[in-house]
Amino acid sequence: MLVMFTISAAILARAATQHATVELISRQTSVKPGSHVQLGVHFMLEKGWHIYWINPGDSGQPPSFKWHLPSGFSAGEIQWPRPERLQPNKELVDYGYGDEILLPLTIHTPPGISNGASVEFGAEAKWLVCREVCIPEQTNLHLKLPVSSAASVDQQHAQLFEKTYKLIPKPLPSGWKTSFASTKDEFILTIRASKPITQAEFFPLDPGQIDNPAPQKVQPTPQGARITMKKSDLLLKPISTLRGVLVMPGDPAYQIEAPARQPIQ
């Protein structure tokens, strides 16, 4: 994939680059002392262009952020919504997002800040936006919020945050179990659930383990499913845990950390 090394930059709460509009937004209208603030970097992409998930797949790289926060504040990890499968050709599959996506995180707020003051959050954002070519873009985003003991939800952004939180992978339901077995050429991921699973797709968190373009074979069982995946040619040694995200139609996405053992019967 051809990469064009041109960079766009701005210093704003919202920035327009060559193929995206990016903004730093808050779920709250103000900062409450000792509470948390939910921020998010909102990407609105030109039609046909995409950015990448934390595991980009066969090409690309995920967005990265360097945070500039007031004294005593700290940033949690980005919460990555479940990705889409992007296939630019038969040989490559990428994992990422098209159209628009919010990448949220939690900012931890100290108790000793004064009502009536204001605080400013800054983020240096870098990302790769791709279609037939990939273009590195970057911007500096800033957001200023007042400090108040009566912080409330910002109705302008509430729906976007709620929609995004539904796409964040959740822990497996209580009672569900996973494991995987390894053959010479394949991984067999076994999911023991409370129901048969007829459709599912596994998105690996760790690159270089599965052959991304190869079809995944889903075999329903009375209490779940077995998913057979071709190993990557890049995998040179055994793995002890198969980590990723399980996506099923009509269900939340689930976090998977399957230990290596014989499949559950």
CA angle (34, 39, 43) in 5-degree steps: 175
Q: Are 46 and 25 in contact (CB under 8 A)?
A: no
User: Which residues in the chain show pLDDT less than 50?
Assistant: 1-11, 263-265
Name the one residue in this structure whose structure tokens are 């760790």.
206
pLDDT of residue 149: 86
pLDDT of residue 264: 44
pLDDT of residue 198: 95
177-259 has the same fold as 2-165: yes
CATH topology of domain 177-259: Immunoglobulin-like (2.60.40)
Element (H, E) at 204: strand 201-204
Q: Are 62 and 207 in contact (CB under 8 A)?
A: no
pTM of this structure: 0.90
User: What is the second-level CATH architecture of the domain 2-165?
Assistant: Sandwich (2.60)
Please give the C-alpha separations between residue 117 and each of 20, 31, 33, 195, 260, in angstroms, as whole numbers.
33, 10, 11, 53, 53
pLDDT of residue 12: 54
pLDDT of residue 10: 33
Domain extents in the chain: 2-165, 177-259
pLDDT of residue 16: 85
Please give the C-alpha separations between residue 11 and each of 3, 8, 75, 137, 224, in angstroms, as whole numbers.
24, 11, 20, 13, 49
**Pairing between strand 224-230 and 217-221?**
antiparallel
Structure tokens at 84: 């889409």
Beta bridge mates, 227:
189, 218
d(CA 169, CA 105): 14
**Pairing between strand 2-3 and 133-146?**
parallel
Burial readout 49-82 (b: 16 or more C-beta within 10 A, e: otherwise): bbbbbbbbbbbbebbebeeebbeebebeebbbbb
